[in-house]
Structures are given as structure tokens and as C-alpha cells.
Amino acid sequence: MTLRIGVLISGRGTNLQALIDACAEPAYPAEIALVISNEPGAGGLKRARDAGLPTEIVGHRAFGNRSTFEEALTGSLRRAGVELVCAAGFMRVLTGTFLDIWRDRVVNVHPSLLPAFRGLRTHERAIRSGVRFSGCTVHFVRAGLDEGPVIVQSAVPVLPADTPEDLAARVLESEHECLPLAVRWIAEGRVRVVDEIVRIDGADGPADASINPPVAR
């Protein structure tokens, strides 16, 4: 069985493109059933249409409150037979009501090593804090801001001369790898949430630690 995913976007859709590319591989166990944007001008809509994918615009400004907006989202996702929702650059906070309906079926990619640097301006804040590593996190979504069980993370170094744009570009490359990987594991039935911690069958941790700045040997 191929897992049917719905992708929520608000902007350029580069993580959507990563999923499009992954789903084009014959052995990939998921397919994109629907792309929804809350922004009519989102660049990701063109990416989806160029790939021949169904798209919908569910503009949040057309609704009087979050409840009716999310009811419209759920209706569209259900009509498309969506089984897993991927928030890929979706700039709306989802409420507990929506997330209860889709419990453990909504994943988000965030440009930091959660729980560090929740919210916006993650790269600027990482550089100002002096951390040596930043990265990205794919996680199941909970009602708190950027909260939920972590599925996969990727660490990238923060370099002395980095601007927020430099770090963002480095992290984005990791996002493009991690989101399709997390979806693959979920589609393969390898992912379980146990006491709010993700367990992945057959996935071992890395053997070595990374040090930044590197140690002369």
C-alpha cells in the first residue's frame, strides 16, 4: 500500500519539491494526494501544478476563526483520502482540535534542533546564542509551538563567518533530506510513538560524535 500524503504550504515550496522528487522514485512508499496552500500566491503551488498534483487554496483570511479554517482543511484532506499530513513551510499554528483529529498523523519540519529555537528567526537566534551546531527537526505536531515527538534530526555546523542566510541555506539542504526520510519511515510502518517518544524499528544511532570547532589530531 502506498501512503497518501497531504502537504500544507505557505511559501516557496522547496520542501514540497523534496517530497515531489522522492515520490517520483518507483520504490518510494508514499504519494502526494493533495497540496493545500493558505496563501494564493505561494510559489509552491506552481511546483505542485508542474508536477501534475491536485492543489487547493484554503485561504485562512476567508474564515472568521481558526475553527472554521481547520474544518475546511480537514474536509479537503479527507476528500483526497489523505492519511498523513506534512506541514512543509506552513505558516499557521494548528490548534489542538485539528491535531486531535489527526493525532500522530501530522508532521512538521522546523529549522532548528528542537527544543532549541522554537518559533521564528531561528538562524539569527542560533548565531547570536553562540551555539556550535544548529540543524533541522522533523516531528509529530502537538498543540504547543513547535512541540511534539522528534522523528529525525540533522545537525549542521554554525561557522564563525555565518550570516543567517548562510546558515539557513545549509539547514535547508538537511530539511530536504530529512522530511522525505521521515515520511518513508512512517509509510513503511517503522515509526511508533511510545510515551511521547518516537521509536523507529531498525534505526540505530550514529556511532561517532561531531565536534565543532574540530579538534586537531
pTM (2 d.p.): 0.95
Assess whether 110 carries a catalytic annotation. yes
How many domains, in total, are found in the chain? 1
Kindly tell me if the per-residue pLDDT of 1 is higher than 90: no
* CB neighbour class for 165 (10 Å; exposed up to 12, middle 13-18, buried from 19): exposed
Percent of all residues in the chain with a pLDDT value above 70, rounded to a whole number: 99
The answer as to whether 215 is a domain residue is no
**What is the CATH classification number for the domain harbouring 79?**
3.40.50.170
Per-residue pLDDT at 115 exceeds 80: yes
Task: Please indicate, yes or no, if residue 98 is contained in any of the structural domains.
Answer: yes
Q: What is the mean pLDDT of residues 51-56?
A: 98
The verdict on residue 216 lying in a domain is: no
pLDDT digits (tens, 9 = 90+) for 118-165: 999 999 999 999 999 999 999 999 999 999 999 999 999 999 999 999
Where are the alpha helices (H) located in 84-157, listed in sequence order?
A: 96-101, 122-129
Residue 217 has pLDDT above 80, yes or no: no
Share of the chain above pLDDT 90, in %: 92
Q: What CA–CA distance (Å, rounded) separates 42 from 40? A: 6
Task: Given the residues 60, 110, 139, 176, select the one marked as catalytic.
Answer: 110
Do the domain assignments include residue 61? Answer: yes
Kindly indicate the confidence band of residue 201, based on its pLDDT and cuts at 50, 70 and 90: very high
For residue 151, what are the domain limits? Answer: 3-200
In a domain, 208, yes or no: no
